[in-house]
Amino acid sequence: MGQETIHTPTTWAAIKNPPYPAEGASNQNFNNYIMWGVLAGVPGYLTYKLGLPWWFFFILFLVCVFPLLATCLFLYSKFAPRYRNYVKLPEKPLEEYMVIHDPALKQQYNGRNKIPMETFFEAYFEGKIDIKGDILDMFEVRHDWAAFQFTMGQAKFFVTQWLPETFWHSREQDTEQVRDHYDRGDDFHEAFLGPYMVYTSGIISDKNKRETLEELQENKMNLICEKMHMKAGEEHLDIGCGWGTLVGHAAKNFGTKSTGVSLSRNQVAYGNKKFEADGNKNAQLNCMDYRDIPSKKYNKITCVEMAEHVGVKRFNAFLTEVRELMEDDGLFYMQVAGLRASWQCEDFIWGLFMARYIFPGADASTPLWWYTYQLENAGFEVQNVDTVGVHYSATLERWYLNWMKNRDSLRAKYPDRLIRIWDIFLAWSTIISRQGSATCYQIVAAKNRNGFDRAALIDNRTNPASWNKQA
């Protein structure tokens, strides 16, 4: 065995540095052979023991597969050891981190008896638990007080809501979910997004500099436009445009004729009003489903963290529709919030939380290989990919700080439960994106045609002299 690694704290100015980046139980010590042995062995044993015909095995397998899988995952998440964790935790009692008001919970979880993460945040939403000190600081040391084990509540949500929504993904479902979230109120979103109203990852330009949220978002919009080689007069379509900040930025600073589409009425009204106030005549937003975009050719198409909401079921059809809207020499930019393939139990628990409370229907958040496969299968050639999860962490931290500054002013209009949900979302996600559980991919693609001018895309990305060796 090699020498154990001892954690050395980082001190980057651009991000919130992790004090306790502990590792959890992961796929590295999960045995797939045991899982499949249980899934096949139990119905096989029952078929044999009960004297049933051999074909009855398949019926029993279908009946037993989900309960057995849930049991395997629950037992693994509860008893599996951490995988190669070298971070020493404070080992403080639960009472150092939270105040439990509910007597039954207080009797069950106290001292060094860790509370399952889902049990914790459900109780926090209901006001049965309050947090001592800063929420983000408490989450930085969550491995000291939380158990990342699956619960019946998560299994019920997965079977009764996540699976049906993933397989269905109707227009009505997509519209309802988008408008429930994004038409909640511009003041609610501005409380953490700030005046730019950009609900996607920003970009750090210098890891040794503490940039503002607005600087991160300005960096991101310039980066997208540069990656897309946007030029004056080009037709630009932004699918899932949000409040239209990228549409307005491209039209104003790069001279494009930019059109954005969104299902949110509030976003479209907000963006068009701003374009009119700014005198930005080459930018406009339309309230429509992406499936209803008129048949027209665009030089550049962007889709910034909207494709996840298309869903796994319709993803290939969506990419085919995008391809047909593009000029043959056009470019497609897709920024997606994805997940790592080398998972830890915490990743799933966070993902189920997000699917239930923050972005229902965004089931097309996957590892990178799946996106590249889908793009290539739809007739695209991937030109470049960047993983910007740590940039997302920096963005989320700024959102969290804005939120903590403004959250109390929203209490008169919005329920306390919603405020508390956003507390957990922003604090936990700041860490999740920094540690790689979830990340963000920036993908530039073009139609995979023989005649496409690939040399036109050569830039400093492949020039060794351009790489910054700054410490």
Contact 171, 291 (CB under 8 A): yes
200: tokens are 């996607």
448: tokens are 């995979």
Q: Classify burial at 194, counting beta carbons within 10 Å of its beta carbon; exposed 0-12, middle 13-18, buried 19 or more.
A: middle
pLDDT score, position 467 = 81
pLDDT score, position 3 = 47
What is the rounded distance in angstroms from the CA atom of residue 346 to the CA atom of residue 343?
A: 8
228: tokens are 């897309």
Q: What is the longest distance spanned by two Cα atoms in the chain?
A: 79
Predicted TM-score (pTM) of this structure:
0.92
DSSP 135-155: HHHHHHTGGGTEE----HHHH
pLDDT score, position 12 = 97
| Digitized pLDDT (tens) for each residue of the chain, 471 residues in all | 344 556 788 999 999 999 999 999 999 889 899 999 999 999 999 999 999 999 999 999 999 998 898 888 889 989 999 998 999 999 999 999 999 999 999 999 999 999 999 999 999 999 999 999 999 999 999 999 999 998 888 888 888 877 777 777 677 777 777 777 777 889 999 999 999 999 999 999 999 999 999 999 999 999 999 999 999 999 999 999 999 999 999 999 999 999 999 999 999 999 999 999 999 999 999 999 999 999 999 999 999 999 999 999 999 999 999 999 999 999 999 999 999 999 999 999 999 999 999 988 778 899 999 999 999 999 999 999 999 999 999 999 999 999 999 999 999 999 999 999 999 999 999 999 999 999 999 999 999 999 999 999 998 888 888 887 665
CATH architecture of 171-387+438-450: 3-Layer(aba) Sandwich (3.40)
Residue 175's SS3 state is helix
pLDDT score, position 214 = 98
What is the rounded distance in angstroms from the CA atom of residue 27 to the CA atom of residue 347?
A: 11
| Residue 454 identity | R
pLDDT score, position 470 = 62
pLDDT score, position 2 = 44
8: tokens are 């050395």
pLDDT score, position 471 = 56
175: tokens are 């519209």
pLDDT score, position 70 = 85
Residue spans of the domains in the chain: they are 171-387+438-450
